[in-house]
Structure 1
Amino acid sequence: MALHKQAKILNERQEKAVLSSLQSSTYPTRNTAMFLLSIKAGLRAKEIAALTWDMLLTPDGQLCEAIQLRNTASKGKQGGRVIPLNKQLKQALNQLLEESRPEHGQKPVILSRRKSHFPAHTVVNWFADLYKSLGFEGCSSHSGRRTFVTRAAKNIIKAGGSLRDVQQLAGHTTLQTTQRYIEGDSEAKKRIVDLI
């Protein structure tokens, strides 16, 4: 099987650069939420585009503690999953909620400038333009997702979990797929060998 070129993961410096640049964008609240849905929740472009407020809100209109991603918004029959909200993402979504004031739960979270659905291919192009403008070669709409999975894998033991938890957060059907997303770390390998 040939190796496929994967989207590069983002380091913390790059993440901060993206967040800083988004503050001066035309739609800073929406754009920040879109970026954080990728890097802090591991959502695919399709999932960002398909995310509706009813997957995020309680019946009384408050933001939930997790994204309730349905299969229909994801990939395949078992792509739906529950993703706890990262604090930074929750703050961005609360701000977007205040600005959006959705009148019904089926309304998309990410809207175009015409206040209509933001298609998946537009999300892909938005990320491509963002990373290109910052000079991040090899980055794509999948970079945030790969960063999320890699960071989760590196920290899951500290949280008392296992790689199976990372698999479920990513919505992968097999651990093998999850493992392909995880970027190795040469320094960590050196530290592990020294511990043996």
Structure 2
Amino acid sequence: MRMDDAVTAWLDELARVRRLSPATVRAYRSDLADLSAGITADVALAEVTLEDLRAWLWDATRRGDARSTIARRTAAVRGFFAWATEAGHIPTDPGVRLVAPKRGRTLPAVATAEALEGVLERMASAAASGDPLALRDHAILELLYGAGIRVSELCGLDVDDLDLDRATARVLGKGAKERVVPFGSPAVRAVQAYLVRGRPTLAARSAEGGLGAARAVFLGARGARLGPRAVHAVVTRELGEALGRDAVGAHALRHSAATHLLDGGADLRTVQELLGHASLGTTQIYTHVSSERLVASYRQAHPRA
């Protein structure tokens, strides 16, 4: 079986059966395309060896790729060759002894509650002008921070997913797992103002949006469903100054929401459920952020620190 055909079949199974996110499937596709170009141009799939895979990963290391990238590449090739072996396309699995590097555990970027309050107040003032994009952008940041949802979950929201009376949203997370998340009254007000005064103007700008755009909560300037890239651009523009950084991902709002919940006394299991983490270990990184703040406060305030 040709490498390209096998990769296509495996990725299709990941998307349809295991229901991995489109972003993960795209990343795996890119990794395996690089592998195919690097070591299997003239080699049959069954002839790929463990040494070939190690050499490919070593090339990525020498290029300076991040540990997380190399770990993902390792997961991609191990998963692919394990599947190819089980499906009978190759006699032995060359990736079974492939070891991924340990991921460096970096603490997420977190804004202070005060800094976010300033950003959101400024955006509320801009939205008061009635500009549809200002209304939309204010609602986006209020909802990302207020509910702690992922950007992909926000972009996938339909109008019917919102219950403003109960201040909840139904979102579709990783692995197509649905959950209901609460958010506060500031987000309710911002979203309500956008739906009444901003969204109809954006929806009227495009006759090509189709049914998907007609249902979507957040629309672009031309009336189509807003995509993740546009959301990241909005957050980077509005939040960069608050964090004192030139490049800030939209995930910083999710990180901030989780950290502030723990700082406010929420238990770890509750935060895990709100964020939609499959593993408690993923949520635990935010306890390190809170611990760092505790240590910093101690060192600043205690006379014997």
TM-score where L is the length of structure 1: 0.77
Cα deviation 1:36-60 (Å, max 9, x = unaligned): 1111110111111111111104xxx
Please list the CA deviations of residues 89-132 of structure 1 after superposition, one character each: whole Å capped at 9, or x if unmatched: 11111212222358x99621111111211111221222122233
Instruction: Give 2:141's aligned residue.
Output: 35
Give ranges in structure 2 of 5+ residues lacking alignment. 1-101, 204-210
CA drift of 1:6 comes to 4.8
| Per-residue Cα deviation, 1:123-176 (whole angstroms, up to 9, x for no partner) | 12221222335563163201110011111122245xxxx311110000000110
* Aligned partner of 1:167 among 262, 269, 272: 272
Q: CA deviation at 1:20?
A: 3.3
| Structure 2 match to 1:110 | 218
Look at both structures and tell me which one has the larger radius of gyration over its CA atoms: 2
1:186 Cα deviation after fit: 4.3
Q: Secondary structure at the match of 1:24?
A: helix
Please point out which of 240, 254, 259 is paired with 1:132. Answer: 240
User: 1:1-196 counterparts in 2 under 5 A?
Assistant: 1-22=102-123, 23-24=125-126, 27-57=133-163, 63-69=165-171, 71=172, 74-78=173-177, 80-99=178-197, 100=199, 107-132=215-240, 136-137=244-245, 139-157=248-266, 162-182=267-287, 183-186=289-292, 188=294, 190=298
Equivalents in 2 of 1:89, 1:181: separation in Å?
A: 23
Structure 2 distance, partners of 1:135, 1:148, is: 14
The one-letter amino acid of 1:67's match is: A
Q: TM-score, normalised by structure 2?
A: 0.52
Cα distance change on mapping 1:112 and 1:168 into 2, 3 Å:
same
Q: Which has the higher helix share?
A: 2
1:7–1:140 CA contact under 8 A, matched in 2? no
How many Å separate the matches in 1 of 2:181 and 2:251? 17
Partners in 1 of 2:176 and 2:216 — Cα distance? 21
Secondary structure (helix, strand or coil) at the match of 2:278 reads coil
Structure 2 distance, partners of 1:63, 1:86, is: 11
Secondary structure, aligned partner of 2:181: strand
SS of 1:81's equivalent in the other structure is strand
What is the CA-CA distance between 1:84 and the residue it aligns to?
A: 1.5
When residues 144 and 187 of structure 1 are mapped into structure 2, their CA distance, relative to the original with a 3 A threshold, is closer
Where 1:173 maps in the other structure, the secondary structure is coil
Query: Larger relative contact order (C-alpha < 8 A, sep ≥ 6)?
Result: 1
